[in-house]
């Protein structure tokens, strides 16, 4: 078993947007609450990478960074919470997070991995509720683009998580269906973003680059349909997709901030 790395609690992901002690605004709240969805899937993906020994040292670092960032974002969102409903749903997310965090810190094995997958889906669903509530609260049409591009970050990590679970042959029902659904959702949403009338020239160019990476990634996905798994390749390509979608989400967040 790969030994876990002991990293400082507040080590921040390089892809994370800068959260300071100052209160965050509406645009950053949509961004950070969307990022929580992604982190719920990234933590499970990193756990599975360690368990299957796919770039395990890198996965250890990712796992510790993701957990620290989730906790930091959660505190920022609790401070931001503009009404009782959002505050209540954040409280539910916090309760799920404590259970999830404890399990994610355990040494990976197949039995724990199955339990972790279930919790990752529960936490994702709760984080999704929070994002939708914050988007509605802002009343901004641009919030949809921040939310949608932010959801693509999540799907990049969900696809990787489900791919690794399939390659490890975990006894979980409907893994194949969940994987296909996530792949289809990513492709559909990418098309929607490319057609958004608010896109600047720079954003359109970045979306074209992301689409090229997406088409390359799909080649690896199709191999699994033949029973051939390339988890290292998928871990690398989905990481590239995550970086590209993070850059797009930051661009859409900045656009929303300017409009408000």
The beta strands (E) that lie in 177-231 are given as: none
Predicted confidence (pLDDT) per residue in 74-83, tens digit: 999 999 999 9
* pLDDT number for residue 219: 87
- Please give the radius of gyration of the chain, using alpha carbons only, rounded to the nearest integer: 18
What average pLDDT score do residues 14-40 get? 80
pLDDT band at 227 (very low <50, low <70, confident <90, very high): confident
* Cβ atoms 25, 256 nearer than 8 A: no
One-character DSSP codes across 130-143: HHHHHHHHHT-TTH
Predicted confidence (pLDDT) per residue in 163-182, tens digit: 999 999 999 999 999 999 99
Q: Distance of CA 79 to CAs 58, 76, 188, 213, Å?
A: 32, 5, 34, 37
Tokens describing residue 202: 């720079």
In a domain, 3, yes or no: no
* pLDDT number for residue 77: 98
* pLDDT number for residue 15: 45
In a domain, 18, yes or no: no
* pLDDT number for residue 17: 46
What average pLDDT score do residues 227-241 get? 91
Domain boundaries, position 203: 26-259
What average pLDDT score do residues 232-238 get? 94
| Phi, psi of 195, deg, nearest 5 | -95, 0
Tokens describing residue 40: 């719920």
pTM of the model: 0.90
In a domain, 20, yes or no: no
More confident residue, 6 or 182: 182
DSSP 228: -
* Cβ atoms 236, 143 nearer than 8 A: no
* pLDDT number for residue 19: 43
In a domain, 236, yes or no: yes
Please tell me the distance from the alpha carbon of residue 33 to that of residue 233, in angstroms, as a whole number: 29
| 36 pLDDT higher than 50 | yes
In a domain, 52, yes or no: yes
Give the dihedral of Cα atoms 27, 147, 122, 89; nearest 10 deg: 40
Predicted confidence (pLDDT) per residue in 91-147, tens digit: 999 999 999 999 999 999 999 999 999 999 999 999 999 999 999 999 988 899 999
Please tell me the distance from the alpha carbon of residue 56 to that of residue 116, in angstroms, as a whole number: 18
More confident residue, 6 or 68: 68
In a domain, 2, yes or no: no
pLDDT band at 198 (very low <50, low <70, confident <90, very high): very high
* Cβ atoms 99, 118 nearer than 8 A: no
Please tell me the distance from the alpha carbon of residue 193 to that of residue 135, in angstroms, as a whole number: 17
Percent of the chain residues past pLDDT 70, beyond the cut: 90
Half-sphere exposure for 233 (CA within 13 Å, toward CB): 15
In a domain, 65, yes or no: yes
In a domain, 9, yes or no: no
27, with CB counted inside 10 A (0-12, 13-18, 19+), is buried
Nearest C-alpha neighbor of 236 from the set 36, 54, 66, 65? 54
Number of domains making up the chain: 1
């Amino acid at each position: 078993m790969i030994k876990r790395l002991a990293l400082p609690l507040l080590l921040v992901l390089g892809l994370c947007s800068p959260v300071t002690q100052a209160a965050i605004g509406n645009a950053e709240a949509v961004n950070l609450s969307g990022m929580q969805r992604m982190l719920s899937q990234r933590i499970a993906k990193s756990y599975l990478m360690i368990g299957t020994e796919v770039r395990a040292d890198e996965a250890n670092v990712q796992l510790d960074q993701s957990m620290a960032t989730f906790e930091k974002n959660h505190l920022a969102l609790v401070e931001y919470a503009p009404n009782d409903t959002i505050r209540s749903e954040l409280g539910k997310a916090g309760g799920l997070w404590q259970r999830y965090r404890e399990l994610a810190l355990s040494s990976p094995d197949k039995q724990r991995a199955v339990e972790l997958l279930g919790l990752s889906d529960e936490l994702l669903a709760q984080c999704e509720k929070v994002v939708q509530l914050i988007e509605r609260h802002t009343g901004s049409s641009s919030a949809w683009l921040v939310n949608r591009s932010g959801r693509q970050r999540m799907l990049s990590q969900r696809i990787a998580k489900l791919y690794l679970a399939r390659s490890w042959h975990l006894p979980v029902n409907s893994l194949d269906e969940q994987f296909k659904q996530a792949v289809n959702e990513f492709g559909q949403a990418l098309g929607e973003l490319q057609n958004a009338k608010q896109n600047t020239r720079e954003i359109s160019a970045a979306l074209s680059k992301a689409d090229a990476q997406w088409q390359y990634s799909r080649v690896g996905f199709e191999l699994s349909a033949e029973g051939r798994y390339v988890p290292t390749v998928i871990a690398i390509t989905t990481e590239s997709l995550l970086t590209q979608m993070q850059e797009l989400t930051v661009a859409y967040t900045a656009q929303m901030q300017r409009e408000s």
